[in-house]
Amino acid sequence: MQKTAVKLTGITKTFGENKVLRGIDLELAAGQVTVLMGANGAGKSTLVKVLCGVHRANGGDITLFDQPFHPTTPSEAIRAGVVTVHQNINDGVIPDLDIASNLMLDNLAAPGSGFFINNRKIRAQAREIAARMQLDVDVRQPVSELNLADRQLVSIARAMAHKPKLLILDEPTSSLSATEATRLFDLLDRLRDSGVAILYISHRMSDIRRIADRIVSMRDGKISGVFNEKPLDYEAAVNAMLGRAMSEVDIQIPAKGTPILSLKNVELRSGAQPINLDMNENEVIAITGLVGSGKSELANLIFGLQAPVSGQMQLNGTPYTPRNQREAIAKGVFLCPKDRGSNAVVQGFDITRNISLPFLKRHSRGQFLRPRSERQTAQASIENLGIVCQSTHDDIGALSGGNQQKVMVARWLAEPSNVLVLDEPFQGVDIQARRDIGEKIRETAKGRATIVMAAEMDEAIEIADRIIVMFDHTIAGDHRNENIDLGQVLAQVAGQKQTGNETHAN
């Protein structure tokens, strides 16, 4: 029988009159991966913050290997062996420091570490940690120079440096390629075998199938289901999370409209096969592929953030050559970017200003803003997308990650567009929020071309009229979302050659 690493009994947490945790009873076993699922507002983040010392519980008891455990700060939790990798990557790294300093930061800040820093020793220890993660980097490199996936790996490596007793990971694969995710899973296998308890927050079916020993569902601040029997019942876990059965998505593919955005012999990078593609009116296109396949580069190209190596774009039949995002927006081409924390959410602004920011001119009369116009747009967006908040004046940072994502999507749905590009709009949101966002995207698709970058195949199938596969910065397949041969699609995602009839882009 596996030893209980962490036991929570009757844990409660309130913020004012808002009861967020309502008597949580949960045991986490050593040497076991527990996947935690819950809709936005279910209390997952608050539960994690209680465990890692950010919040104090109002009631209940926690033990760590049979010893009382009530951390008052994150550093206290870390010293006890409870280490968290947060969903927001910038919570786990300091961009201005080099990789070595990030990996060793908690040791440097520990009591008794002294005043003098031995850089050679720090770098040697950092290289050992990086090697265990199979992280091939120069530890002297500033974290600010790393891409999103490498920052995530540094954040995870920093957590591993503590030799945790309980490791908590919140959507850790959201920015990782398939190869990087496999590396992470292999590491988690080794940690599990060594007796570490792992609490893994995710709704990704691919993650859960690979890593989960059990699934725990949360709803309305309570544990609503625990699933231990193999094979794990993912559908039942989702139903327990939502309190009802999940309805199937019924895609009604519209009649093919006229091309709005056309790519003619476009090379995304030198040496890549050119892309020829029409994106049509009323159509929702999902573009899928592995991290590094070129999806985000294509989004940046359309939004004027980078130029093609060669080739041309046309918007409604006329040349389209945006030099920056301002010119793209002026032409009615919008982009909801991938990295919500760094490139989308404006911390310190309320919901209203986060939604209206790119369109302040529309909410102005002469040189003066019209706050009422901004608030009306924000209120309509809150209602349309089911954003959970107190009011339009709520600070964006007070919202859950899923609700922040809804605000970012709402920003670009608030105004009519010719082309709407959404780069991983479902990243870090639960299944119900994914459905809410997807439903609103499809509901408003008439009159524009909509392009959704989606790494997960089930996300693409749920939202798209057409699914385009990218590999090595070009198009590997183009499929109408009707009786799709998933084997062929997945082979194209992996860059495998197909035999027989091939599917080509328009």
Domain boundaries, the chain: 4-242, 258-332+417-506, 342-415
Using alpha carbons, select from 424, 444, 440, 286 the residue that is nearest to residue 343. Answer: 424
Query: How far is the CA of 484 from the CAs of 36, 112, 467, in angstroms?
Result: 31, 61, 9
Q: Which residue has the higher pLDDT, 175 or 252?
A: 252
pLDDT-derived band of residue 49, with 50, 70 and 90 as boundaries? Answer: very high
Per-position DSSP letters for 61-91, written without gaps between them: EEEETTEE---SSHHHHHHHTEEEE-SSGGG
Size of the chain, expressed as the number of residues it contains: 506
Q: Does the pLDDT at position 480 exceed 80?
A: yes
Q: In this structure, what token pair is assigned to residue 491?
A: 């082979």
Sequence-distant (≥ 6) Cβ neighbours of residue 18 within 8 angstroms: none
Predicted pLDDT of residue 75: 86
DSSP at 220 = T
Predicted pLDDT of residue 146: 80
Q: Does the pLDDT at position 116 exceed 50?
A: no
Predicted pLDDT of residue 503: 40
Predicted pLDDT of residue 127: 87
Q: Does the pLDDT at position 363 exceed 50?
A: yes
pLDDT-derived band of residue 500, with 50, 70 and 90 as boundaries? Answer: very low
Threshold 0.75, pTM exceeds: no
Rounded to an integer, what distance in angstroms lies between the CA atom of residue 35 and that of residue 214? Answer: 6
Q: Which residue has the higher pLDDT, 241 or 464?
A: 464
Burial annotation 477-494 (CB, 10 A radius, 16+ → b, else e)? bbbebeebeeebbebbbe
> Quick one: how far is CA 87 from the chain centroid?
8
pLDDT-derived band of residue 60, with 50, 70 and 90 as boundaries? Answer: very high
SS (H, E, C) 249-310: CCCCCCCCCCEEEEEEEEECCCCCCCEEEEEECCCEEEEECCCCCCHHHHHHHHCCCCCCCE
Q: Does the pLDDT at position 112 exceed 90?
A: no
- SS3 call for 316: coil
216-227: per-residue pLDDT in tens? 999 889 999 999
pLDDT-derived band of residue 483, with 50, 70 and 90 as boundaries? Answer: confident
Query: How far is the CA of 376 from the CAs of 371, 439, 449, in angstroms?
Result: 9, 22, 26
Predicted pLDDT of residue 89: 61
Q: Which CATH architecture has domain 258-332+417-506?
A: 3-Layer(aba) Sandwich (3.40)
Query: How far is the CA of 402 from the CAs of 39, 218, 389, 475, in angstroms?
Result: 9, 15, 12, 30
- SS3 call for 13: strand
Sequence-distant (≥ 6) Cβ neighbours of residue 140 within 8 angstroms: 98, 99, 100, 123
**Whether 172 contacts 152, CB under 8 Å:** yes
pLDDT-derived band of residue 445, with 50, 70 and 90 as boundaries? Answer: very high
- Which superfamily does CATH assign the domain made up of 4-242 to? P-loop containing nucleotide triphosphate hydrolases (3.40.50.300)
* Percent above pLDDT 70 for the chain: 90
